[in-house]
Amino acid sequence: MNSPESPIPHSAPRTPRWLRRYPGIYLALWKNSVAREMGFKSNFLLWIVVEVLWFGLQLSFISVLYLHTDTIGTWTKWEVVLLIGASHFIQQIYQAFFLINCTNLSELVRTGKLDFLLLLPVNTRFIVSLRQVDLGGFVNATLAVGVMIYALIQLHLTVTLLQIIGFLMLCLSGILIHYSLMFLLASISFWTVRAQGIVWGYYNLFNIARMPDDAFRGVFKAVFTFAIPMLLVSNVPARVLTDKLRSPGQILLLLAMCAFCMVISELGWRQSLKHYTSASS
């Protein structure tokens, strides 16, 4: 028997179960993705080459464009090069984690494979969104970082640690916006069965994010700022690195749009699952 003076032992605080479980699941998904990519090395390398050529074509287009003008709005040549680099970085990181999973959702619904994922003792959206990883996206994102660094050197700009952290946080917000909207569009497959065309149509709009927001006016700019926030996704992070932010309002708008898109996407997903009747029904 413990004496009254004996201290009552306290158990150490336990890490939440999901915090220990989900990283392990995601690590297993990564291992599976690496094994898959290494099984098709030629396809992996070819896709990287295609992305590099496409990136180079965009930079070449800007070089030709600036042979005929000094600025686009308030953006100089190397500021636009940095913007294209930031946009490519965001796109490639998004592509690495989410693109193939969003585009495959309609196939899961059509073939009934979603039934098996629904039975797994894990959050269904987690497993649907992160089943596969495109490792080539990380290689191409590294190239984009190199282009941004070179552009900063040409601009004679020295960025601070705070700017880098802000840039990365805003890039994360942009990636989550793309993921939320594309996943919401992919959820249409619960009604139409096939939704790849809609999903890839949204992906093609990524090209708009590479252009300076000052180049747009009127309804077009309003639509791609508020309805489909393409112009916010890359322009705001690039403005942070180049000290072109007019006010913190643009940062707050990007963060607000990120939160809004994530909420709408989750509501759409839950409503879609209610509509799903499984392949055996």
Nearest to 203 by CA among 219, 226, 188, 186: 186
CB proximity list for 139: less than 8 A, separation 6 or greater? 48
pLDDT at position 128, please? 93
Q: What value does the mean pLDDT take over residues 144-158?
A: 94
Over 70: is that where the pLDDT of 15 sits?
no
Greater pLDDT, 49 or 167: 167
DSSP annotation of 131 reads: S
- Averaging pLDDT over each range in 105-109, 178-182, 212-216, which range is the top one? 178-182
- Helical H runs in 66-195? 77-94, 100-111, 114-119, 124-130, 136-154, 161-186, 189-192
> pLDDT-based confidence at 180, cuts 50/70/90?
very high
Distance (Å, rounded) from C-alpha 279 to C-alpha 113? Answer: 8
Q: How far is CA 259 from CA 169, 176, 228, 252, in A?
A: 13, 9, 14, 11
What are residue 75's DSSP bridge partners? 72
**Distance (Å, whole) CA 163 – CA 159:** 6
> For 70-74, what is the mean pLDDT?
84
- 35-49, 145-159, 202-216, range with the lowest pLDDT: 35-49
In this predicted model, which residue has the larger pLDDT, 251 or 10?
251
Cα-based torsion angle of the residue sequence 99, 259, 165, 235 in order, rounded to the nearest 10 degrees? 70
- DSSP class of residue 158 equals -
Q: What percent of the chain has pLDDT over 90?
A: 40
Higher-scoring residue by pLDDT: 25, 12: 25
CA separation for the pair 209, 230 (Å, rounded): 5
Query: In this predicted structure, what is the pLDDT of residue 193?
Result: 65
Contacts of 27 (CB under 8 A, 6+ apart): none
Q: Are 277 and 190 in contact (CB under 8 A)?
A: no
Tell me the per-residue pLDDT of 37-56, one tens digit each, with 9 for 90 and over: 777 777 778 878 888 888 88
